[in-house]
Structures are given as structure tokens and as C-alpha cells.
């Protein structure tokens, strides 16, 4: 049994409430860790520690030295990737076969932004007066609050932590109460890497008790949130009350478009991975599959074959491809979406039900589900399911595919499968999505900005320019003339208009 306090100011600190919450393994149903239950008092302490660190040893480090500490964190994480992968499997039951590669890739974010830390440069401004000297410089915002979800806790934390710390900010993190342990472990790793006390703080607890007071705290200078639209709206409203800048990475209902000139067999595999990978529990899931009418039946048959062959079971087993849904309310919501879709006229080509049996243990499994006869006015087509449910719809030509794809309140990601380069470019330009993959899906990199249009969020994470979202620009103007101009005229020893 692992036991964790809050991590504040470089120390493990008991919660003000003296209360703790159990952390369950979603597959076994067993309690394997206990974490502190935070509240507004704990948030106050964490923000104060982060604020104090801004003027402490952290502020005396050069940008290159900050980068060195991030590289050290990356080295430690790379060495201990197996352990961190196993912990995340215990937290959210994502199969180790997917979690381990993700964790092995996680240090890349630390290395990338470590390299950018000393590349932030201001500009000498071409001022319109020769006797003045003007330039810009970039400065950290201050205390950054990061609120992270349960589906990829370590990965999505690093998307925020790496640029925020590279830019010289300090951090207070509120991880999901479902998967808090990997974040707490990373705090201990950061301490071993040499981050000064107070630079990285973690408060565990619920959204109401921790996230909301954190978002509304007057000394939080930036809020970075990944999660559902409802909670995103709540924290953004709290931040907006005090004009706090915010990055929101929210939900999606991403279209995946298969044209008849594509490698259809490869596209089917890609479409299955886009929705059944991570058990569909990812904001970028390709949940709306648009297929050219000439290959529609072939694609549906291929999806059904793959869905029927996916191996579910113990997520700690490397041969397992498909895990449970770790949150009971979400499990029930997925089944409800399927039931409503059938009542509205959709047909189930495969799945559509809960999975039971010894392979499931205490886990809440929903079968990979393929829905057909879906129309664009159905709830399952328009709302994010956040589960292993794909809706398949035929289209006749490019313009119809584009119209259907863009007819959504979301705009996070999209996929295009085609052998025609002109078509690939045309579709990628006209799709209203923050990320468009061509002949691939679910591919990310520290070098590539990620984020969405419309209700899928605000701002971006990743890429060289995104470090500036954690900085503010200051203009400096130096008068070298030795003279002071004034709008007033001196008369009898007094200024007069």
C-alpha cells in the first residue's frame, strides 16, 4: 500500500483536513494507494510555496541551468520508465502494451523544452527616434496551475510542466483523483533531479475542493487544463473573473475520412486504432468514421473483424490490447450512449454491450462497438462518448465528406486516408481541426502543436512557439538624449498648459 501526502515546497505535507482517499486499481477493484484529500487551505499553501520559489534560488538560475535540470528529470524518467508505466496501469488500467511506449517517449518532452529554455530571445526594436533605444524581453508569467485528467496522467502533465518550467515559471498541479500517484511520484523525481523547493507542487483531491480554488486563486498567473468541456467551462469562468490566461484542451468528436483511392486495408487498421486504442478514452479518438460509399461495406466488415479479435483482459499483461473503463460513471455513460443510439435508429454491427467473464476480473469493460445506420442528428454522432464506440457513415464525394466532417461543435483532430496528394492537402487545409493526420492517426511529437478549434479548447500544447504561452513580453525604452519632453510650458516658475 502506497501512502502519499501533498507535495508542497519540497516537502510531503499532511492535508489540512487530515483526510485521505483510496486509489483503486480499476481492473482488480483493490485499493493500492491512499492520497491526501486537499481543500482550499492546501491550495493556499501550495500557491504560497510556488510564489515564494519565484524569488528564491529558481529565479537565480540561468535559462541554460533550468534546461539542465529538465534534462536531468528526463534522464531519471527514462531510467525508471518501467516503474512509471506500471503505476499508470494500476491507476487507470490502460494496457501496459500502450502505456510503456508512451512512458518511454515521455522524456522527449523534457528534453525538447530543455533545449528551448535558452533560445528565448527578445528583439531590438527599430524605434522612430534616434535618441531612444528600445527592446523586448520575455519573462515568466509566475505561478502556473495545471489540472490534468485520468486517461494519460503523466504524458499530459509533461505537456504542461516542460514548457512552464523551461520558461522559468513555478507549478502547482492538481491531478485527477482517479490517477494521482504517477504525478506524486514525478514530484519526488523532480526533487532528486535538483529542482528547488516550491518549483513543483502537487495537491490531490476533487475538482470542487482543489481545482476550483486553484483556478480562482489571485496569485495563479496561468491555468493549463485538460479534461471535459463541463469542467473546463467551470475553471475557465473562475479564471476569467480575474483575467487569468488559460490553455484548455477539451473534448473532440473527430472525423476520420477514408477515400476510395486509399490503401483500404491499412485505413481500416488505422481507423480501428483511432477509436479502440486506449479503449476510446482519448479526446482525439476518431469516433466519426466517414467512408466513401464504394468501399463502405468493405470497411465496416474490416472494422468488425478487428473489433472481434481485440484481446481484452488484465492490463498488466503485455498481450492485452484492450482495458476496462476506470470510472463507473463513465462506463455507464458509454452504455447509455449506445442504448440511446439504438433507440434513435442506429444499428450495432458489432459489440454494443458490456463484457463479463473471468478475463474482466472486477473491471468495467465495454465491447468495442461499431454503429451503422447513423445520421448526423443523432446524439451519438454529435456528442463525445469517450469510449470505444465508432459511428460509420458513407459519403459520395469530397465536398459531402468535408461538409459532414465540419458539421460539429468540436474541432480537435481529423484523419484523411488517400493516395492523392492534392486531395490530402485540400482536405487538410479545409478541415476545421487543430490537427489533421494523413494516412495515419494518433501521432504526436513535442515539435508539433496540439489543440483544437471551437469547443475543443483554447491555445495549444507542444511546438517551439508554445513556450511563449508561458511567457509575457515586456517592452523597454531607454531615453539616451539627456532631455525630458513635457506637454507643459514653464511660466513664472510654474507649469501651465
CATH of the domain at 425: 3.40.309.10
Return the bridge partners of 415, or none: 256, 437
C-alpha–C-alpha distance, residues 239 and 258, integer Å: 40
Give 309-354 pLDDT, tens digit per residue.
999 999 999 999 999 999 999 999 999 999 999 999 999 999 999 9
Burial class (CB in 10 A: 0-12, 13-18, 19+), 464: middle
C-alpha–C-alpha distance, residues 368 and 350, integer Å: 7
The pLDDT, as a whole number, for residue 299 is 98
Q: What is the mean pLDDT of residues 12-18?
A: 97
Give the CATH number for residue 29: 3.40.605.10
The pLDDT, as a whole number, for residue 66 is 98
pLDDT score of 239 more than 60:
yes
Q: What percent of the chain has pLDDT over 90?
A: 95
Catalytic status, residue 283: yes
Give 368-413 pLDDT, tens digit per residue.
999 999 999 999 999 999 999 999 999 999 999 999 999 999 999 9
Residues 231, 365 share a domain: no
C-alpha–C-alpha distance, residues 333 and 380, integer Å: 11
Count of the separate structural domains present in the chain = 2
Give the number of residues written for the chain: 497
Assigned domain for 207 exists: yes
Taking CA atoms, 239 is separated from 48, 60, 214, 399, in Å, by 18, 29, 9, 40
Residues 424, 392 share a domain: yes
If DSSP codes are grouped into helix, strand and coil, which group holds residue 47? helix
Residues 261, 128 share a domain: no
Residues 240, 103 share a domain: yes
Domain that holds residue 285: 255-438
pLDDT score of 164 more than 90:
yes
Assigned domain for 314 exists: yes
Q: Select which of 5, 91, 384, 461 is catalytic.
A: 461
The pLDDT, as a whole number, for residue 314 is 98
Return the bridge partners of 174, or none: 147
The cell for 407 is 458539421
If DSSP codes are grouped into helix, strand and coil, which group holds residue 337? helix
Residues 354, 239 share a domain: no
The pLDDT, as a whole number, for residue 494 is 53
Assigned domain for 98 exists: yes
The cell for 493 is 516658475
DSSP assignment letter at 209: I
Look at residues 374, 456, 375, 460 and name the one whose alpha carbon lies nearest to residue 413. Answer: 456
The pLDDT, as a whole number, for residue 441 is 97
> Residue holding cell 477509436?
275
Catalytic status, residue 391: no
Assigned domain for 101 exists: yes
C-alpha–C-alpha distance, residues 245 and 140, integer Å: 13
Assigned domain for 402 exists: yes
Q: What is the mean pLDDT of residues 148-160?
A: 97
Q: What is the mean pLDDT of residues 155-161?
A: 98
Confidence of residue 1 (pLDDT cuts 50, 70, 90): confident
pLDDT score of 306 more than 90:
yes
Q: Select which of 177, 212, 249, 469 is catalytic.
A: 249
The pLDDT, as a whole number, for residue 236 is 92
The pLDDT, as a whole number, for residue 490 is 61
- Contacts of residue 190, Cβ cutoff 8 Å, sequence gap at least 6: 73, 199, 200
Residues 77, 7 share a domain: yes
Residues 370, 329 share a domain: yes
C-alpha torsion sign, points 408, 411, 412, 416: positive
The pLDDT, as a whole number, for residue 439 is 98
Q: Select which of 94, 160, 174, 253 is catalytic.
A: 160
Residues 231, 263 share a domain: no
Task: Record the pTM.
Answer: 0.95
C-alpha–C-alpha distance, residues 489 and 482, integer Å: 18
Residues 188, 117 share a domain: yes
The cell for 428 is 487538410
Assigned domain for 351 exists: yes
Assigned domain for 488 exists: no
Look at residues 171, 179, 172 and name the one whose alpha carbon lies nearest to residue 149. Answer: 179
Assigned domain for 495 exists: no
Confidence of residue 483 (pLDDT cuts 50, 70, 90): confident
The cell for 78 is 527514462
Residues 64, 39 share a domain: yes
Ranges of beta strands (E only) in 283-346 are: 288-292
Residues 289, 237 share a domain: no
Confidence of residue 492 (pLDDT cuts 50, 70, 90): low
Q: Select which of 253, 283, 321, 469 is catalytic.
A: 283
Q: What is the mean pLDDT of residues 452-471?
A: 96
Residues 199, 57 share a domain: yes
Q: What is the mean pLDDT of residues 302-310?
A: 98
Q: What is the mean pLDDT of residues 135-149?
A: 98
Do 92 and 178 touch, CB atoms closer than 8 A? Answer: yes
Helix, strand, coil share of the chain (percent; to 5): 40, 25, 35
Q: What percent of the chain has pLDDT over 70?
A: 98
How crowded is residue 446: how many other Cβ atoms within 10 Å of its Cβ? 23
The pLDDT, as a whole number, for residue 489 is 65
- Contacts of residue 344, Cβ cutoff 8 Å, sequence gap at least 6: 375, 378, 379, 380
pLDDT score of 102 more than 90:
yes
DSSP assignment letter at 245: -
Amino acid at each position: 500500500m502506497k501512502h502519499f501526502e501533498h507535495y508542497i515546497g519540497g516537502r510531503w505535507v499532511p492535508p489540512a483536513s487530515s483526510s485521505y482517499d483510496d486509489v483503486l486499481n480499476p481492473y482488480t477493484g483493490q485499493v493500492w494507494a491512499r492520497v491526501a484529500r486537499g481543500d482550499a487551505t492546501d491550495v493556499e499553501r501550495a500557491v504560497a510555496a510556488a510564489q515564494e520559489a519565484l524569488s528564491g534560488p529558481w529565479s537565480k538560475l540561468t535559462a541554460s541551468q533550468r534546461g539542465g535540470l529538465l534534462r536531468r528529470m528526463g534522464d531519471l524518467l527514462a531510467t525508471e520508465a518501467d516503474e512509471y508505466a506500471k503505476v499508470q496501469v494500476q491507476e487507470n488500467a490502460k494496457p501496459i502494451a500502450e502505456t510503456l511506449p508512451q512512458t518511454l517517449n515521455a522524456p522527449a518532452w523534457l528534453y525538447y523544452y530543455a533545449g528551448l529554455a535558452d533560445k528565448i530571445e527578445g528583439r531590438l526594436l527599430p524605434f522612430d527616434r534616434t535618441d531612444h533605444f528600445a527592446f523586448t524581453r520575455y519573462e515568466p508569467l509566475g505561478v502556473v496551475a495545471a489540472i490534468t485528467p485520468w486517461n494519460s496522467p503523466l504524458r499530459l502533465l509533461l505537456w504542461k510542466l516542460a514548457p512552464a518550467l523551461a520558461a522559468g515559471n513555478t507549478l502547482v498541479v492538481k491531478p485527477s483523483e482517479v490517477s494521482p500517484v504517477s504525478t506524486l511520484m514525478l514530484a519526488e523525481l523532480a526533487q532528486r533531479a535538483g529542482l528547488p523547493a516550491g518549483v513543483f507542487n502537487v495537491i490531490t483531491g476533487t475538482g470542487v475542493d482543489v481545482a476550483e480554488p486553484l483556478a480562482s486563486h489571485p496569485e495563479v498567473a496561468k491555468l493549463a487544463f485538460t479534461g471535459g468541456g463541463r469542467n473546463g467551462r467551470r475553471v475557465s469562468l473562475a479564471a476569467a473573473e480575474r483575467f487569468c490566461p488559460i490553455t484548455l484542451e477539451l473534448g473532440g468528436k473527430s472525423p476520420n475520412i477514408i477515400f476510395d483511392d486509399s490503401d483500404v486495408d491499412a485505413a481500416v487498421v488505422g481507423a480501428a486504432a483511432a477509436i479502440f486504442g486506449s479503449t476510446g478514452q482519448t479526446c482525439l479518438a476518431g469516433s466519426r468514421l466517414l467512408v466513401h460509399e464504394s468501399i463502405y461495406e468493405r470497411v465496416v466488415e474490416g472494422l468488425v473483424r478487428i473489433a472481434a479479435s481485440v484481446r481484452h483482459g488484465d492490463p498488466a499483461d503485455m498481450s492485452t490490447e484492450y482495458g476496462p473503463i476506470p470510472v463507473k460513471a463513465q462506463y455507464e455513460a458509454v452504455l447509455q450512449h449506445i442504448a440511446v443510439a439504438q433507440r434513435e435508429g442506429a444499428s450495432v454491427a458489432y459489440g454494443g454491450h458490456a463484457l463479463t467473464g473471468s478475463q474482466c476480473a472486477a473491471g468495467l469493460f465495454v465491447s468495442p462497438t461499431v454503429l451503422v445506420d447513423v445520421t448526423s442528428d443523432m446524439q451519438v454522432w454529435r456528442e463525445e462518448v469517450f469510449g470505444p464506440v465508432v459511428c460509420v457513415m458513407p459519403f459520395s464525394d469530397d465536398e459531402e465528406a468535408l461538409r459532414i466532417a465540419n458539421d460539429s461543435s468540436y474541432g480537435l483532430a481529423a484523419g484523411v486516408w488517400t493516395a492523392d496528394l492534392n486531395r490530402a492537402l485540400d482536405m487538410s487545409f479545409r478541415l476545421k481541426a487543430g490537427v489533421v493526420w494523413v494516412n495515419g492517426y494518433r501521432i504526436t511529437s513535442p515539435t508539433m502543436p496540439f489543440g483544437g478549434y471551437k469547443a475543443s479548447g483554447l491555445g495549444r500544447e507542444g511546438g517551439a512557439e508554445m513556450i511563449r504561452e508561458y511567457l509575457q513580453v515586456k517592452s523597454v525604452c531607454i531615453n539616451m538624449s539627456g532631455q525630458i519632453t513635457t506637454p507643459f510650458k514653464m511660466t513664472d516658475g510654474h507649469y501651465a498648459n
